[in-house]
Amino acid sequence: MLKPVSRTIRWALLAAVCLALGCRPDPNASKVQLRYMAWGNPEQMELEEKLCEEFNAQNPDIHVKFFKVPAAEYGLKMMLMLASHSAPDVMRVDHYNFPSLVAKGYFYDLTDLAAKDKTFKRSDFFPQAIEECEYKGRLFGLNVLFGGDLIYYNKSMFREAGLEDPAEMARKGQWTWDKFRECAIKMTRKESDGHYKQFGFGAPSSSSTFPILASAIWGYGGDMLDKQLKHAVFDQPGAVKAFQMIADFRWKDHCSPTQAQGANSLFTFESGKLGMVFEFMGMTPRYRKTIHKFQWDVCPVPRGPFGNTTLCKGNQLVIYRETTHPSEAWRFERFITSQSTEEELYVKLRRCFPTRKAMAYSPEYLQTKLPPYNNWAFVDAVEHSRPLPINNRWSEWMQEFGSEIDNLMAGRERDAATVLKRAKVKVDKVLADEAGF
């Protein structure tokens, strides 16, 4: 007698659970569903979460679901999703990966959407910010977290060493690599026991030296790859001179910590033990939060015989080619890169640099109550910026190149020309090889 009863109860329970879980009406079911994927530090994620909520509130016909992926897994996760045709409608892609992915046809061509959108004017933007998102003359993304590389310097340390302010020198056109070297040497101090107390300049460890080297290479008239990005040209005199100079800062002038000296964050800009560092513009919020013991500011990269070009780079907001809602995805992209969003992110919070020219030139951007005060240097950097030579073999050739440059930066070899000649052979081999093998 008991058995059938309990079975009925069991079925009833199961049905109830199913109803509760599956058949609950979803308030967003009737809307266009978009998925958006990005990575970033907690502050960035919180901001993007807020942006999605705002967008959902303002656009009752669309519901954007934001999902966050840890930075370390992001690239791989995205590639697997793209390969298995399950990528989200909108994604943020680091420019390091953009060229190789866009070449594989994963992204939606935005050129026509942009042409139809009356509010999208190309002339509003810094040309570098648009060019980075293009592939074969077509637009495949919108730039976010865009910016250039420049120098953050310890103003107090400059003053204590009796040196002129580098931003002042830059304004007068006197901020050259020779001056840079002189300042770096003068700011380097030792303790009485021979240990270093502070260094004038922090050259990052080998694998990430490139951003700095880019401005030195270009400043001396050299380059990394040829225009077609098919052959290495860093064995030419300009680049050799630049590499030699950076390595000499460490091994000859001893004004920059070696890898061993700088390990365990012994010398960081934030601790006040480095006079100058090359950093991306997005470091401002962090430095504002962490630096209280000394005065700091920003200035342009030093001038070489061929000028003071720095690098610029951003992330691309792309739409998945297989999305069923391209125009809704475009609306979301436009919202994430809208004027008011840029004002909040880049003018108020200084997370990076605005892509709109008018905004960068506005008094709100240029005059701030908090450091850095030389905001013109950010604008100057982007105006004088070039993209990195990132092609679809970037990670491969950087591995070969980085391993050779490490010989130079770790002091195992002292002659840049020899190292670069060897590196050229290796990099050319990678670039000539058939992709995918």
Partner 1 sequence: MQPNLLRRAQKLTHRPAFWGFLFISPWLIGFLIFTAGPMLTSLYLSFHKYDLSSITYVGGENYRRLLVEDPLFWKALKNTLFYASVSVPLGISASLAIALLLNQNVKGLKLFRTCFYLPSLVPSVAAALVWEWVFNSDNGILNTSLRMIGVTGPQWLQDERATPWAFAMMSLWGVGGARMVIFLAGLQGIPDSYYEAAKLDGASGWKCFRNVTLPMLSPVMFFNLVLGIIGSFQVFTSAYVMTGGGPNHASLFYALYLFQNAFEYLKLGKASAMAWILFSILLVLTYIQFRTSKRWVYYEGGDK
Q: Give the shortest CB-335-to-partner 1 separation in angstroms.
A: 30
Q: Which residue has the tokens 């809704």?
A: 328
Is 263 one of the binding residues for partner 1 (CB under 8 A)? yes
Q: Which range binds partner 1 by CB under 8 A, 31-39, 77-85, 269-277, 353-361? A: 77-85
Whole-Å CA distances, 52 to 55, 63, 200: 5, 9, 43
**Using the rule CB under 8 A, which residue among 59, 156, 295, 407 binds partner 1?**
407
Nearer to partner 1, 15 or 83 (CB): 83
Q: Which range binds partner 1 by CB under 8 A, 242-250, 328-336, 376-384, 402-410? A: 402-410
Nearer to partner 1, 61 or 434 (CB): 434
Is 192 one of the binding residues for partner 1 (CB under 8 A)? no
Q: Which range binds partner 1 by CB under 8 A, 7-15, 72-80, 210-218, 269-277? A: 72-80
Nearer to partner 1, 12 or 263 (CB): 263
Taking only Cα atoms into account, the Rg of the chain, rounded to an integer number of angstroms, comes to 25
Nearer to partner 1, 119 or 264 (CB): 264
Q: Which residue has the tokens 């045709």?
A: 85
CA–CA separation, 35 and 43 (whole Å): 20
Q: Which range binds partner 1 by CB under 8 A, 210-218, 340-348, 361-369, 395-403? A: 395-403
Task: Report the SS3 class of residue 201.
Answer: strand
Nearer to partner 1, 12 or 71 (CB): 71
**String of contacts with partner 1 for each residue 197-226, x by CB under 8 A:** ---------xx-------------------
Is 369 one of the binding residues for partner 1 (CB under 8 A)? no
Is 265 one of the binding residues for partner 1 (CB under 8 A)? no
Are the beta carbons of 378 and 150 closer than 8 angstroms? yes
Q: Give the shortest CB-87-to-partner 1 separation in angstroms.
A: 12
Is 193 one of the binding residues for partner 1 (CB under 8 A)? no
Whole-Å CA distances, 349 to 49, 296, 338, 371: 16, 18, 15, 12
DSSP codes joined into one string, 251-315: HTS--S--HHHHGGGSS-TTTT-EEEEEEEGGGHHHHHHH--SS-EEEEPPPBBTTB--EEEEEE
Is 260 one of the binding residues for partner 1 (CB under 8 A)? yes
CA–CA separation, 92 and 212 (whole Å): 25
Whole-Å CA distances, 244 to 89, 320, 395, 401, 416: 46, 43, 24, 15, 5
What are phi and psi for residue 199, nearest 5 degrees? -115, 150
Is 83 one of the binding residues for partner 1 (CB under 8 A)? yes
**String of contacts with partner 1 for each residue 86-105, x by CB under 8 A:** ------------------xx
For strands 32-38 and 62-68, give the pairing.
parallel
Q: Give the shortest CB-403-to-partner 1 separation in angstroms.
A: 6
Q: Which residue has the tokens 């630049």?
A: 242
What are phi and psi for residue 16, nearest 5 degrees? -65, -45
CA–CA separation, 157 and 161 (whole Å): 6
What does the DSSP 8-state code read for residue 206?
Answer: G
**Using the rule CB under 8 A, which residue among 156, 261, 271, 418 binds partner 1?**
261
Nearer to partner 1, 107 or 335 (CB): 107
Q: Give the shortest CB-273-to-partner 1 separation in angstroms.
A: 14
Judged by the rule CB under 8 A, the positions of this chain that interact with partner 1 are 76, 79-80, 82-83, 104-106, 206-207, 258-261, 263-264, 266, 395-396, 399, 403, 406-407, 410-412, 435-437
